[in-house]
Structure 1
Amino acid sequence: MPSIAEEQPSLGDALESLHKASRTPAKQRTVKVSGVINVICRHAFAYGLDEDALDAVVHIAARKTQLDQTSVTTLIKNLYPAQRVSGDVIVTIVAALGQGKGKPSPGTQDSLVKWLALIHVIIEDASVLSRLYGVLFAMLDMISIRTSLCHLLSLITRRKHVKPFRIQQLLELSRGLGNEPALQGLLRVYKDYYPDIILGSASTSRKSFAPQPDAEWRARVRTIQEARTAADDTTSERHNGFKVLRHGSKRTKASVLPDVHTYHATESSVTLEGIDSVDAFVERLDRIEPPGQLIPFLTDPLLQKYVELKPSPVVSARIGLWLATCLEEQVGAAAQDTGDSAFLTELLDGLLQHARYTKTLLPIVPAFLKEYLTVWDGRDHVDAVLGLLAYIPEDSFDDLYTEYLSPAERALSSNGLSAYTRLVGFYTEMLQHRVSTLAQQRPERRQPALISPEQQFLKDSVSHFAAFSTSLILSLPSEEGAELVSSTLAYWELLSTSSKPHVIPIILPPMHLVYYLMQSSPAVLVSRICGIIGSYKQAFDAHPRPVKHYYPSEVTDGLNWCLRDVYNLFWVARGLAVAEQKSVGMYCDPSLRSSLNDYLSGLDHEYAIGHAFGLSNNAWLASMSFAAWHALEEQVIDREGYDRGSIRWHTGPVSQQSLAVIRNGGVDVDWEGANGYKVFVLNWLAERGLGGLREFMFATVTDLKTGQTSAS
């Protein structure tokens, strides 16, 4: 009796069966070929085909066989490579094209050419199609594959392929066939390289260019290849930066940034369009002719490299003149509310992309922003405008704020909470840029912190952000401001880990904000705050001694008091304790602390205010701490081989006294020490994304840093 679910053959068995079926007439087969193809296609979709499997399927599809057309087409449509495609596979496919006794059907050849167009960006040897260009071009007289072949050639054509005899052949084909869309598209590509040789204008339509790649097919290939090879950029269609960027048939007519074209070029000219590798770019840099328009350098990686590596006053003047005229028109249009939003979006995105590439702004941009911010509505182009503002090269923060940031804040202030969150993100991006710039400097001499203009700018900007973000957090209900608080902590996380002695000063957050968030936030934010304070402690530990020569006592005293307050709160039973010149007790008045302690003692004699905020009793951590205890308890029981039926289980909450009691009939676990309960809880929380408290304690408690048993 057959089983209900038959075991599927392996990929190797399926490929062997397919090979036999391809040589056997349909009526003589003992295996149903559709089932075999189904196995191969399912495996290809789920895991991709490795080099051997892909080669085996292509060899079957690339010759005349006994398989029906539907089966072969299905195989080709499911050729998902698990890695980059080898040059041998490409050669096999190209050899299968054309007319001949052993060649596959015209429909199969067309499917194979379309597949080449799909995978041309993930070929192992990118030059293999270029070397086969002449073979492919010679097959343009084949009606059955001409459309797909024109699309493929349009994708791989470079200046070196555009020869006079090929231009002549294309023109003759065009005259003989009329306005065949795909052929006109290929002719247009040729015309882009030699506009003075190919006269007239090739009439193009949507069908003239290769269709957009099947998004689902490409997404599946990316998923397969990323799973197989951690992170290989070549699997994701990313531009390699050493070819001219082409936007293809989807480009809008109103686009402000044209493609790169070199006009009046001859066959001996060296142009950017003819560059296809880093070696070619380096070898020909001194001989490359500038393109007709230079403004595409905002988005084209190759033209950016050319402009940066071969600077010229003429080039700079051409770029500046174009931008000055265009940006002035955009400011005027925005003031009259007649601007083209899509046009300005593309322009601003290009300027931002250039700024992120060069880490500087073009000279015209600050002047444009100063004018544009006076008419900006705070709704359009927010990301681009804020992104550009982060690179404004001002020496004085007061000047920067007056001229740029204050107008931006006013424009955004009427657009709701999300606008404030974006502003916080902007200040974080500006901090990142300033910190990166400062980090490249070498200290000339040892001096007190915040002396140099760069450091003073950083201090002023941080002070403004502290007041700005604190005001926002205190003004909003906690349930509405969670994203804002998270973005604010991201700023302080960056700053707390960026200090560099004598270069990037240590600048603390306002301690009243730290205390406020410490007492009003969920566990994940409390953990992040502890991590920030722990990072500042590590920064001062790594700073040259004596620290008081570089920072005033109010800075170090403020951090020391905060360290002791957090330590008292979570680690020892002294929560909210005030000690003169040592701790401020989270700003809790001593009389209030005493009243709270009396209240708790009245509920139960074991309750006390000092214990209320520890790991076991803290309102935000108690449930997780007890889950950590259960994990530790189970671990000890398994290690020691205790009888689960007779063991005395801890019912919580865990304390030093309860651990001493539970040893009689239960597990034996220390309260402190490297293998104790408290350290286990810290590690358990860190494993679940709440590592800030662990970072704080290991940075603060000397015994934990040295691995010794800690004392209360």
Structure 2
Amino acid sequence: MPSVAEKIDSLHDAVEALQAASTTPVKQRSVKVSVAVDAICRHAFEDGLDPASLQAIIKIVTRKTELDQTSLTNIIKNLYPAQRVPADVVIAVVSGLGQGKTKPSSPTQTLLVKWLITIYEVLEDATVLSRLYGVLFAMLDMISLRTPICYLLSLVTRRKHVRPFRIQQLLELSRGMSNEPALQGLLRIYKDYYPDIIVGSSGLSRGSFPPHPNPEWRTRLLAIQEASARRAEGRKGQHNGFRVLRLGSKRSKASIIPEVHTFYANESSVTLEEIDSVDDLVGKLDKIELPGQIISFLRDPLLQKYLSLNPSKTASTRIDLWLSACLEDEFEAAKQGATPSVSLSEILEGILSHTRYTKSILPVADAFLKAYLPFWDGLANDDAILNILAFLPIQSFQDVHSTYFASIEAAMVSQNPYAHQRLLTFYTSLMRHWTVLASSQASTPTPAPPSQITKHITDLINHVSTLSLSILSALPYHSNSPVISSLLSFYELLSVSSLPNIIPIVLPTPHLTYLLLTSPSLATLSRLCTILANYKNAFDTHPTPISAYYPVTTTNMFNGYLMDSCNLLWRSRALLTVDANALGIFCAPPVRESLQNYFTALDREYVLSSAFGLSHNALLAALSAAAWSALEEAEIQHQNLDANDVIRHKGPVLQRTLTVLGKEGGVEVTFKQYRVQVLKWLDARGCGGIKELMFATMTGLKDATA
């Protein structure tokens, strides 16, 4: 056993030391109990307690021991489970409650009940406390445990637990305790299932609701469990979506959207509050009573599932009436120039939650946005509004633009400094939704013929292309780099979304392509190359003949993109137009001639045609040099050369300099071998787009280097 001065590093050793200390009087211990307690708390806070350690510690703290109260308090307050809490741990905790010579002290029992409340949502078996309901209810006679036990029972109570004798006992306790808040809160849970119960006349106070766990404690617990789940290669959410969501008293009072409560239940009915699993929901789907305020569905996942699986005209009417009343007030306020209320933010967030779940916009919300957007300031609730509209169905782009997008663009550009990026991100989300809808409609009959769907999508793409080119032309580069990233995200999606006869291959315009190709950003260049490689693959896998689907001008334009990109980066023929379809990235002959004269004046061997290649490109030169150094060292070893005597290449690497290097005693490497090494070097460092494009375009390159 460690000496007094030693620090315990192992959790197993710390638990063993605590076990020994718990049965040994203070004066007879060879190890300070604080050493073991500190080690356990440290391990629990950093990594959480595994089930075996948690069970061993619970066994110690749930009985009377020689440990002091301070040590027990510190341990219980740091009982962070690394995984879901097993049922036997919960049973052990409950068995440690009550009166008896072997039971822990009252403060310890109170802490243990509060711990059960904090870990309620991470129980391995959600029904274990339900099975122990009678045991917990019987402990309400203990004054020291009554309040936390009421809070715990408020979380556990379901219809099957509500019995006449328990109602009678709670009413007697309530009258004797002068409307104690915790008892009143539990009684009102019972009233949800049996409305005829008479409860105290006082309203619900903050003490009527189970307290929230310490936010820092809760955050740490979730972080520990997520890390543990990742290590176990399986992540589990904290709310299973098949239980009514409870957010507590403070959030409920401040919210315009109420929590789910069924007020007119009877003994034969089933309420959503009773559901706690998918089997429960499926088995009782046709028997569930609608809650008192159906609008709770905007926030409650279980009610959303229920309404989707069991649609009701009554529920739809109630939802429309509630939303119409609230949104009408917000619309009238917007027409008068008033600031949007906090309630509108919450309603729009709720509508967005429902829209994401159903992938369609509520008709009443759609009607509100049509009327509201002309008065919108471009700033308030912009996230929610844009994310909702990203789920608009496929329709005429001219109509949808005049109805929604024209107002959005005008409002955002005039008020929001980040409007351009936000607009491109929005159009990307809309494009993603439309491509998903178009793909699903390709195999099913639809009201709109494929040609109309294709036209609607094409019009959207053309609008984004025009908008993007306008933005890039108007703004200096240092201020539009986020815009470029959003634009590239749009074309990355577009380049992999084509579907014959439904989603066409629509290329970016030449000016936009060449503007990005000459961008002073390596990330932009690499992403553009990936996009071009994706388009190349789309054409290669498209049904033939291509001319039956696309005009010759489209394929010639794309071949021009490929030719100019390869001339620029690979073939040392930058800005030339002598090759078929090459446009020389629109560099006018007088400009090219002036640039060539400038380069020649700097160095007779420095020519414009190779200035953008892998060795000389301002974005790639440093990485190319590093790639060459690694290749040179590898070849020295492979060719059995003396590292001290071998002639080193001084750079930049060219085909001619490599030939000279081999003759003068350096490594013998071909120019193609060097360039492939650079492509692989870039790929390994997150710039794989250039490699993808070269391998997709240069015939035989990929096979030759496999």
**What TM-score does the superposition give when structure 2 sets the normalisation length?**
0.94
Residue in structure 2 matched with residue 498 of structure 1 by the alignment: 497
Preserved contact between residue 557 and residue 581 of structure 2 (Cα < 8 Å): no
Deviates more, 1:254-263 or 1:25-34: 254-263
Preserved contact between residue 379 and residue 415 of structure 2 (Cα < 8 Å): yes
Preserved contact between residue 193 and residue 266 of structure 2 (Cα < 8 Å): no
Preserved contact between residue 159 and residue 193 of structure 1 (Cα < 8 Å): yes
Residue in structure 2 matched with residue 189 of structure 1 by the alignment: 189
Cα distance change of structure 1 residues 464 and 340 upon mapping to structure 2, 3 Å threshold: closer
Secondary structure, in 3 states, of the residue corresponding to 2:692? helix
Distance 2:667 2:141 in 1: 85
Distance 2:152 2:199 in 1: 24
Residue in structure 2 matched with residue 684 of structure 1 by the alignment: 681
Distance 1:6 1:29 in 2: 14
Residue in structure 2 matched with residue 472 of structure 1 by the alignment: 471
Residue in structure 2 matched with residue 556 of structure 1 by the alignment: 555
Amino acid at match of 1:677: Y
Residue in structure 2 matched with residue 702 of structure 1 by the alignment: 699
CA drift of 1:310 comes to 1.2
CA drift of 1:176 comes to 0.9
Preserved contact between residue 188 and residue 199 of structure 2 (Cα < 8 Å): no
Deviations 1:180-200 (A, max 9, x none): 232222223333333343455
Q: Is 2:208 aligned against 1:208?
A: yes
Cα distance change of structure 1 residues 314 and 709 upon mapping to structure 2, 3 Å threshold: closer
Cα distance change of structure 1 residues 401 and 119 upon mapping to structure 2, 3 Å threshold: same
CA drift of 1:397 comes to 0.7
Residue in structure 1 matched with residue 116 of structure 2 by the alignment: 116
Deviates more, 1:572-581 or 1:615-624: 572-581
Secondary structure, in 3 states, of the residue corresponding to 2:532? helix
CA drift of 1:519 comes to 1.1
CA drift of 1:443 comes to 5.2
Distance 1:322 1:444 in 2: 35
Residue in structure 2 matched with residue 511 of structure 1 by the alignment: 510
Secondary structure, in 3 states, of the residue corresponding to 2:671? coil
Deviations 1:356-387 (A, max 9, x none): 11011112222111111122111111111112
CA drift of 1:577 comes to 1.1
Secondary structure, in 3 states, of the residue corresponding to 1:597? helix
Residue in structure 1 matched with residue 43 of structure 2 by the alignment: 43
Distance 2:362 2:201 in 1: 36
Cα distance change of structure 1 residues 392 and 10 upon mapping to structure 2, 3 Å threshold: closer
Distance 2:121 2:47 in 1: 20
Deviates more, 1:521-530 or 1:415-424: 415-424
Deviates more, 1:652-661 or 1:570-579: 652-661
Residue in structure 1 matched with residue 306 of structure 2 by the alignment: 306
CA drift of 1:418 comes to 0.9
Secondary structure, in 3 states, of the residue corresponding to 1:135? helix
Preserved contact between residue 222 and residue 235 of structure 1 (Cα < 8 Å): no
Preserved contact between residue 25 and residue 66 of structure 1 (Cα < 8 Å): yes
Distance 2:232 2:327 in 1: 39
Q: Is 2:140 aligned against 1:179?
A: no
Amino acid at match of 2:488: L
Q: Is 2:353 aligned against 1:353?
A: yes
Deviates more, 1:512-521 or 1:652-661: 652-661
Distance 1:309 1:564 in 2: 54
Preserved contact between residue 133 and residue 161 of structure 1 (Cα < 8 Å): yes
Preserved contact between residue 297 and residue 304 of structure 1 (Cα < 8 Å): yes
Deviations 1:236-262 (A, max 9, x none): 764211111222112253532212222
Cα distance change of structure 1 residues 644 and 140 upon mapping to structure 2, 3 Å threshold: farther
Residue in structure 1 matched with residue 289 of structure 2 by the alignment: 289
CA drift of 1:322 comes to 2.1
For 1:430-509, what aligned pairs fall within 5 Å after superposition?
A: 430-442=430-442, 452-509=451-508
Amino acid at match of 1:699: A
Residue in structure 2 matched with residue 533 of structure 1 by the alignment: 532
Residue in structure 2 matched with residue 28 of structure 1 by the alignment: 28
Cα distance change of structure 1 residues 14 and 254 upon mapping to structure 2, 3 Å threshold: closer
Distance 1:386 1:47 in 2: 40
Distance 2:339 2:591 in 1: 61
Preserved contact between residue 324 and residue 364 of structure 1 (Cα < 8 Å): yes
Preserved contact between residue 184 and residue 200 of structure 2 (Cα < 8 Å): no
Residue in structure 2 matched with residue 651 of structure 1 by the alignment: 650
Cα distance change of structure 1 residues 503 and 591 upon mapping to structure 2, 3 Å threshold: same
Secondary structure, in 3 states, of the residue corresponding to 1:465? helix
Amino acid at match of 2:519: S
Deviates more, 1:620-629 or 1:215-224: 215-224
Residue in structure 2 matched with residue 631 of structure 1 by the alignment: 630
Aligned residues: 701
Identity of aligned residues (%): 53
Distance 2:231 2:290 in 1: 35
Amino acid at match of 2:680: N
Residue in structure 2 matched with residue 592 of structure 1 by the alignment: 591
Residue in structure 2 matched with residue 370 of structure 1 by the alignment: 370
Preserved contact between residue 443 and residue 503 of structure 1 (Cα < 8 Å): no
Backbone CA RMSD of aligned residues? 2.4
Residue in structure 1 matched with residue 149 of structure 2 by the alignment: 149
CA drift of 1:660 comes to 2.8
Distance 2:351 2:236 in 1: 25
Cα distance change of structure 1 residues 198 and 473 upon mapping to structure 2, 3 Å threshold: farther
Deviates more, 1:336-345 or 1:91-100: 336-345
Q: Which ranges of structure 2 fall in alignment gaps of 5 or more residues?
A: none
For 1:328-343, what aligned pairs fall within 5 Å after superposition?
A: 328-338=328-338, 341-343=341-343
Distance 1:412 1:243 in 2: 39
Distance 1:107 1:236 in 2: 33
Q: Is 2:402 aligned against 1:402?
A: yes
Preserved contact between residue 379 and residue 416 of structure 2 (Cα < 8 Å): no
CA drift of 1:128 comes to 1.1
Amino acid at match of 2:691: R
**What TM-score does the superposition give when structure 1 sets the normalisation length?**
0.94
CA drift of 1:347 comes to 0.7
Residue in structure 1 matched with residue 245 of structure 2 by the alignment: 245
Distance 1:215 1:666 in 2: 65
Amino acid at match of 2:192: D
Deviates more, 1:568-577 or 1:227-236: 227-236
Cα distance change of structure 1 residues 660 and 190 upon mapping to structure 2, 3 Å threshold: farther
Preserved contact between residue 391 and residue 430 of structure 1 (Cα < 8 Å): yes
Amino acid at match of 2:98: G
Preserved contact between residue 256 and residue 343 of structure 1 (Cα < 8 Å): yes
Deviations 1:553-584 (A, max 9, x none): 12111111001100111111111111364200
Secondary structure, in 3 states, of the residue corresponding to 1:186? helix
Deviates more, 1:110-119 or 1:680-689: 680-689
Distance 1:578 1:590 in 2: 10
Distance 1:569 1:80 in 2: 58
Preserved contact between residue 188 and residue 202 of structure 1 (Cα < 8 Å): no
